[in-house]
Structure 1
Amino acid sequence: MTTGIITAATVLRQASEPDPGPEELTVFWPLLVQLGWFLAGFSAVVLIGWLVVQPVLRRAVRRRNRNNPTLQAAVVLYFRLLVVLVGTLVGVALAGYGELLGDSALVISAVALAVGIAAREVIGSLVSGVALVLDPEFNVGDHIKWNGGEGTVQSIALRITRVETAAGELVTIPNTILTAHEITRPYGRGNHRIVQELRVGYESDLDDVLCQLIEVAGETEGILTDPPPAAYVDELGDDAVSVRVHYWITDPTRRDVFAVRSAYARAAKDRLEAEGINVSPPAERELSGRIRLSDPSERE
């Protein structure tokens, strides 16, 4: 009997409570409006950044760094993160919380300062990486010389650059090092001049030697005829005459330079020896004095 009375009371109470209607939902309307403004601002920034700015940025990076997909992906990733951050700030401001951001400016500045001090080397590398990305004269495949050595650039990231040395070693260089010191690009910038030096004996006809060396340069594959090769007497040494040959090859790599130098050196040696010209004569010294010999048994 008691159970029946409780059940009936519960049913009557539930029946007396009205269902939520539009009037009750108006309480949430301001929150929905703020959410809508946030989504509108966030979506606008993200869509403009990803659909309009990102393709332009991707084409610019690809045009200057065609052989570096690692860098292209890194730039796009960092740009997307930046767009999301900016979109969030714009959405918060449109939602009516701009004053909250203003009140938190001091806290945000303090946090940014602490993060900057803790990660100054990483941030410096990122800034240097952006500088290298924007430099049209620095690309994957370039042969470079820097303070620590030389090699061919394999990849450029926003924080580090990887260079392969002539010995096949892969060196990881922080970008701050490459932007803080001078970088030399000996090859790959149009015609490249090669200077080779050799020594001949004093008894050689120097005019004939110079003519022979120029002719060999004109006959060697890969050496340009314009500008024409040239040969000069460089130095009168103690034992031989030093002769220097200048010639040009077009837009070479390090491997091309070694190949042409080797081919020319072999051809020049064969030509001069065939003409009876003494190449790299041995050093001669005239000694004077006395040599004293003693019998070891006399010491005993």
Structure 2
Amino acid sequence: MWGVSDVITSSQGALVRIGAFVVAAAAVGVVGRYLAVPAVAHAVRVRNTDNPALVRAVRSYARVVVVAVAFLAGLVAAGFGAVLTKSAVVAAAASVVIGVAGRETLGNVVAGAFLVADPDFGVGDHIAWNNREGSVEAVDFRVTRVRTTADEVVTVPNSTLATAEIRNPYSRGRYRLTEEVEVRPRDVERASEILRETAAADDRVLDDPAPSVSASGFGESRVALSVLLWVGDPDHGAVWEVKDSFHRRVAERFAESDITLNPPKGRTVTLRTGDAHPIVDALTRERAP
């Protein structure tokens, strides 16, 4: 049976183990957080000056690694290192947790690492995926936060973006707008001139390549004109402002030049000789002497 001295000895041993765990874990944690993490983040920043998302992600991942290493160091200092390396039960439990509970989470973590390492994907970019679009606000361990055009913040699992087709329409320094209008055949030349002048008058539209207008098709009593113009230094707001301004000024110029925008379709009515029609009968009676 245990006596008082045995209880005291056991308590002292437990306190020593706890103290060793706290000291070791704190020491490793402090060194890692204030020395290792900043050093790693600085190294990544020097090599990726134009990708702040990657720097933030690496800093976050490094902090998680430091916490894990500090915890393991504390266990080793407390005398549980042998148990961790030799216990089949611990290994089996860890395998089950990682394989079942953490499978999806780990998949998102890995996908997030690939996303932040992609030079064409970063915080502030306007992206489109799976019939949705918005601006990337943050890339976290599990999800990416995107602010949509409706000013809603959507959290998208990293694995979804990693496996989807992502478009980054404004990443190349210019964006092509394609607009189409329809006019009467007699107004084609004048309308084409107005469209080119209106597009070129906007300072946000590039001179090289210059705006162009081409006849893209025929309709019933009208001709379709396709306008191509390139917006420089584009973002989602700027592109829509250029588009809105172009529409307003074209409508105004067309009205001044008496050009009908998107004229109604023509209709031809053919009557067979001898057929009775109320409208034809009425006109005949009006013209009769």
TM-score (norm 1): 0.71
Deviation at 1:51? 3.5
Aligned partners of 2:259, 2:134: CA distance in 1, in Å?
Answer: 38
Provide structure 2 residue ranges, at least 5 long, that are not aligned to the other structure.
1-11, 279-289
| Matching residue of 1:9 | none
- 2:190 is equivalent to residue 211 of structure 1: no
SS at match of 1:108: helix
- 2:184 is equivalent to residue 201 of structure 1: yes
- 2:268 is equivalent to residue 286 of structure 1: yes
Alignment of 1:212-291 (within 5 A): 212-287=194-269
Q: 1:127 aligns with which of 78, 85, 110?
A: 110
- 2:35 is equivalent to residue 52 of structure 1: yes
SS at match of 1:257: helix
Q: Are residues 205 and 88 of structure 1, via their aligned partners in 2, closer, same or farther at CA, if it must alter by over 3 Å?
A: closer
Identify which range, 219-228 or 192-201, moves more after superposition. Answer: 219-228
Aligned partners of 1:35, 1:115: CA distance in 2, in Å?
Answer: 26
What amino acid is the match of 1:214? Answer: R
| Matching residue of 1:168 | 151
Identify which range, 224-233 or 84-93, moves more after superposition. Answer: 84-93
Aligned partners of 1:234, 1:150: CA distance in 2, in Å?
Answer: 29
| Matching residue of 2:287 | none
What amino acid is the match of 2:250? Answer: A
- 2:122 is equivalent to residue 139 of structure 1: yes
SS at match of 2:265: coil
What amino acid is the match of 1:218? Answer: A
SS at match of 1:228: coil
How many residue pairs align between the two structures? 260
Residues 134-187 of structure 1: per-residue CA shift (max 9 Å, x gap) = 223222222111114111223322111222222222222111111111111112
**Aligned partners of 2:187 and 2:259 also within 8 Å:** yes
SS at match of 2:185: coil
Aligned partners of 1:42, 1:183: CA distance in 2, in Å?
Answer: 42
TM-score (norm 2): 0.74
Deviation at 1:240? 1.5
User: C-alpha root-mean-square deviation of aligned residues, in Å?
Assistant: 3.6
Aligned partners of 2:123, 2:276: CA distance in 1, in Å?
Answer: 65
Identity, % of aligned positions:
34
What amino acid is the match of 1:271? Answer: R
Q: Are residues 51 and 237 of structure 1, via their aligned partners in 2, closer, same or farther at CA, if it must alter by over 3 Å?
A: same
Deviation at 1:201? 0.7
> Which has the larger Rg?
1
Aligned partners of 2:59, 2:269: CA distance in 1, in Å?
Answer: 74
